Amino acid sequence: MEFVSAASWAFRLAPARDETLHDGAGGGARGVRGRGEGRAAATLEGMTVTAPRLPDAALAHWDLGQIYQMQRVQTGLMNRSWRVDTSSGSYLLKLFRDVTGPELQFQFHVLQTLGASGVPVVLPVFSRDGRSTIFLEGEEFGVFPWVGGRHRSGLSMSRDACRDLGSVIGRLHRTLHASIPADRAPKLENPPTTEAALQKVDRLLELVAAGRGDKTGFEATAEQTLRLKRGLLVRLGDRRPPDLAPQYTGYTHGDLHPHNVLHGPDDRISAILDWDRLTVSSYAREMARAAVFYFTYGDERGLDCDRIRAFAGGYRSVFDVGEPEIGLATHQLWWDRLTDNWVIEWHYVRHNSACDHLLPGQTGLVKWWTIHYSQVEQSLMGR
């Protein structure tokens, strides 16, 4: 299922604000210095350390100049990262825990290929002996340029910027399709059946009933959501997507959403970040999913179809997988939204309420999308 992970949903699409890169390993930067350009070896003299237990021994493997300051930055649950300010500029030192070894080197190969085609990604800085990563006491480290930028809600972007966003994602897919052949079967799952979806709703309704007395208001929202979805499934169960495999598949980013993309002052993309979910999947599905993330209001207003239309037009102007493929992806995503209840499951099954606040917006979007299904489908086709 597409929307089971909190990592993809646990952010608010707030008005744009300046934010600097916090995960340089995800993308690539212009002006990355290559091997051996005469910089002095890293030195720790006069350094201010604000990151306890920083593995500073790793920095000795890169020619970064004098190090002024190092500070821990947040880059997710698995990896560890530090901003390093030096006489030659600012960098990100990253300790890889999620993707390592040959899989990480393949990721870097993909980034080099994308960067050569003009896709804005952040490339690793080579160590003094020409390696993209080094191993120290069994741990793998890499260094990347520090890239500035901000995360943007698509609702704050001009139509031209939305079209440019789509064209960059189109170029990303076109390059991957042409240059990185898929070496494995695509990651695909058949849509859940109507019967299975109804059974899950009924089980969750039983859990809600058993947990009466919730004072936060989540209980009422969860029950309303489940009863709404049950009614829609009963009436629209025959609209389940067919078990059709997409025709255009290949390597995709795997997790394209606003917090994995940096934009410059003009809203043009400065870097696509966080490639740890690189996978073989449907191009159309990733495009449509990214559009939903970028252009959702997060409430009962649903999606901004005008901006989606510009975005999809930009995408198809560069890499056109065709309307049937986009229609299938749209159908599957809508059904996923209708049948998935991960926030409620987290609350009642995992006893984790961290994402409770997302439920009203998700429910509002499902209702709105169902009513405006044709409008969403047409906008994702660029019409």
Domain coordinates of the chain in residue numbers? 20-98+124-145, 154-190+239-380
- pLDDT level of residue 88 (50, 70, 90 thresholds): very high
pLDDT score at 34: 32
H-assigned helices in the chain:
6-9, 101-116, 159-179, 194-210, 218-236, 283-294, 305-318, 323-339, 342-348, 359-371, 373-380
Give Dmax (Cα) for the chain: 70
pLDDT score at 17: 37
Q: Between 23 and 310, where is the model more confident?
A: 310
Which stretch of 53-62, 132-141, 149-158, 325-334 has the lowest confidence by average pLDDT?
53-62
**Is the pLDDT at 319 greater than 70, yes or no?**
yes
Q: Which of 151, 129, 36, 49 is nearest to 93 (CA)?
A: 49
* Percentage of the chain modeled with pLDDT above 90: 78
- CA–CA dist 240, 335 (Å, integer): 7
Q: What is the pTM of this model?
A: 0.85
Q: Which backbone phi and psi does 293 adopt, to 5 degrees?
A: -65, -45
| Sheet of 89-96, strands arranged across | 48-49, 67-73, 80-86, 89-96, 139-145, 134-136
pLDDT score at 187: 80
**Is the pLDDT at 51 greater than 60, yes or no?**
no
CB neighbours of 198 closer than 8 A, spacing ≥ 6? 230, 233, 234, 237
Does domain 20-98+124-145 fall under CATH 3.90.1200.10? My reply is no
List, for residues 276-295, the tens digit of each pLDDT value: 999 999 999 999 999 999 99
List, for residues 230-270, the tens digit of each pLDDT value: 999 999 999 999 999 999 999 999 999 999 999 999 999 99
pLDDT score at 295: 98
Which DSSP category does 356 fall into? G
Does domain 154-190+239-380 fall under CATH 3.90.1200.10? My reply is yes
Q: How many CB atoms lie within 10 A of CB 206?
A: 11
Residue range 89-110: mean pLDDT, rounded = 96
Residue range 71-98: mean pLDDT, rounded = 88
- CA–CA dist 202, 297 (Å, integer): 29
